[in-house]
Amino acid sequence: MATEQAWYEIVAGVLKRQKVDLVTYVPDNVLRPLLDLIHADPFFTAFAVAREEEALGINAGAWMGGRRSILLMQTSGFATLPNALASLSVPFQIPNLMMVSERGTMGEFNIGQQMVARTMRPVLDTLMIEHHTLTRADDVDFIMDRSITQAFATQVPCCFILSPLLTGGKVFAK
């Protein structure tokens, strides 16, 4: 399916279709157009928190209370989550949805981002959390829509990684 929509418009569309109306985040430059779109749409309740695991807790509580949500963050933010994922989301079978804008690869200029990015997929694999790296706008709707349905049906977390191939990433500003 050819599409004229930008990646963030497709993402917002899938979230609406899936009734994911609570968006918690710690921001990132790459996520900015998505955050702007979400904040401008009254369908969504969106707010920033002080730390990513706080958002994971809010979203877990919201799920148990009957509301669907997603946590948006960057790679270094994901690295603060393993304890909460391993002691809350996974053992309690809570379908925490996560979206990570991928830093640390394909033109990274910050060595801290480069190192921490390498921990992300091994952590997800170790915790047996399904994750998909989104690289092409054409794939975003299918991958996200199907995976969100699966996460809720099987009560497991799911993580979407936004590759620089999709978003353009963050480039070296001299």
**DSSP-derived secondary structure for 11-50:** HHHHHHHTTEEEEEE---TTTHHHHHHHHH-TT-EEEE-S
Binders of other proteins among residues 91 to 110 (CB under 8 A) are 91-94
- Determine if 11 is a binding residue for other proteins (CB under 8 A): no
- Determine if 84 is a binding residue for other proteins (CB under 8 A): yes
Size of the site for other proteins (CB under 8 A): 31
Residue 1, C-beta contacts closer than 8 angstroms, at least 6 positions apart: 138, 141
- Determine if 122 is a binding residue for other proteins (CB under 8 A): no
CB 72 within 8 A of CB 31: yes
- Determine if 67 is a binding residue for other proteins (CB under 8 A): yes
DSSP state of 68: E
- Determine if 153 is a binding residue for other proteins (CB under 8 A): no
Binding site residues, other proteins, CB under 8 A = 22, 45, 47, 49-51, 53-67, 69, 83-84, 86-88, 91-94
